[in-house]
Structure 1
């Protein structure tokens, strides 16, 4: 008599993470549920945890860190840039980031492929036959003699390759060389042209330093980067990690790492990965009012941004590839803000434009946090906070 076949029971799947649960988990990783005290983890350690801070605008990292660190000292952070402990360099998505010196040396080789992908055959026609490797070698000599702006570098390279477009020649140098911006660019309340030299020249060492966090050989370097990404941005999908880093073909990396990760699901069924011991607070965890600068990590760290930017907020926050400064209320983008000062910085106005009507308690919390932001950004000035008409409704 044929015995009935026993069916293998699969363990029940965990319920999908709701958007609010994803929101709270990401805010916890980004240190936006509660400020980190600088005695527990200083600014450089926070920058390393966040795998760098987007720095297209020189003031961005200062506002980002003020929103994340209790007692953040911008002058000390600025002095650490002068001491070459922190640098500004093109990294994720080929955009400018502020990172520690050791992360500069560790991350740029891992992300180099994303830099080189921009040098397409169509772009090459602007070089008028100049070989990119030769252009980069000459550019290295020039910027290591003295830091140069891209305009100055392009003009000097065009003198050697007269048929080439100076801007294109300088772009080759930017994509192939680890060029850092030197002070006073990026210092607190100080300006200066964006002048560049190589990371090796500025830091006095070569890439892939043994002291770099999670340093490893080139074969598994993307694995270490993905683990750090999840620690700061998880839970996240493969596509999220690719969008954040600018790298492609990370599916195999996640496949290798899968035994070390927990696998979760978003509400739409997307597979998400996370570190087993990473914080995932519940959906009801309180989320305070916070102000984010343009291109904050929270705004650009995922392909699917619905965990923080709802459908109504996208058009308000994003204009093309530009992300406006935004404020958070109940953990989600609730509107945009801008800071206006007079020429003497004697008067400063913080203008808040909500997406729509806000509850009285949310407005009061934003006004309190906004007053603190004004005191941080423009101390000693006469301060005013103004509500503008909502984006919608």
Structure 2
């Protein structure tokens, strides 16, 4: 019987694996791709999508197409239960799948916590397609000239980009946008250079986006407590960090302190060597990494090597992250902001560069 490899999730690293398999798939290896959607949306293009730079189809990879070209069977379903000791996955379509090798690249869920009491106005940033469609529905409910109060919770790059993109989307619809960015005590872009943070704060001030460096707590539907203030919001967007999916805890696999799959330098599970995990769903115990799509993209090549090596009982190799990650933030005004270690820049040329990188990434897997 051929060995069976299951790719759970269509994340950025698994796209690299699928592309490699198009020309280098071992004949004796059966590969299944399990994903709840036939599309994989690229998170880096979401702000541009909201701001009107792209259409929805510009920002996604056709998983059915790339799987077919790779000789991989695509199963459209979500995982409901994982039994790691028995090597079994129970899916939402009723199927139960066994495996010899498993690679997990499903991403994470949004940490909501006390924000959930705000009710139907709460909109987590994931899953991306649902977030975008829900935003369009909410925006379309307003008439030109109406005022919409939108609060974005989360001071990272995603929170800042989404705040600027949503404001632009509302203004494009001739709406009055009252936009708030609630960052918590760490402020905007914690971990980035001071010059980057200073430039972003000036930009947000120029756009009229109020930055509140306090913790947000939902009081009741539509109302927030932020510091010593109480605010009424029409839309609360959560970019509040990563939370481990519920199906990980009972799986019987070793988890890190943050609840994600504990892996070594080779992205291999500490408790089950036939299991690999990459991206937000995994946590390196030897070298903690930020929950960033940058690492999922860069680790894809190493993951591909290690999956095929594991199938042949060959030597694995470690993923060595770059010491500094490049961030290009779409500022929703025809420009973008660059953050690379201590270096920063802003301008239309940065946005053109970002458009080229993002579009090239999508075309790489769709063609």
For normalisation by structure 2, the TM-score amounts to: 0.26
| The structure with more strand, counted as a fraction of residues | 2
| The structure with more helix, counted as a fraction of residues | 1
For normalisation by structure 1, the TM-score amounts to: 0.25
Larger of the two Rg values belongs to structure: 1
**Greater relative contact order (Cα 8 A, min sep 6): structure 1 or 2?**
2
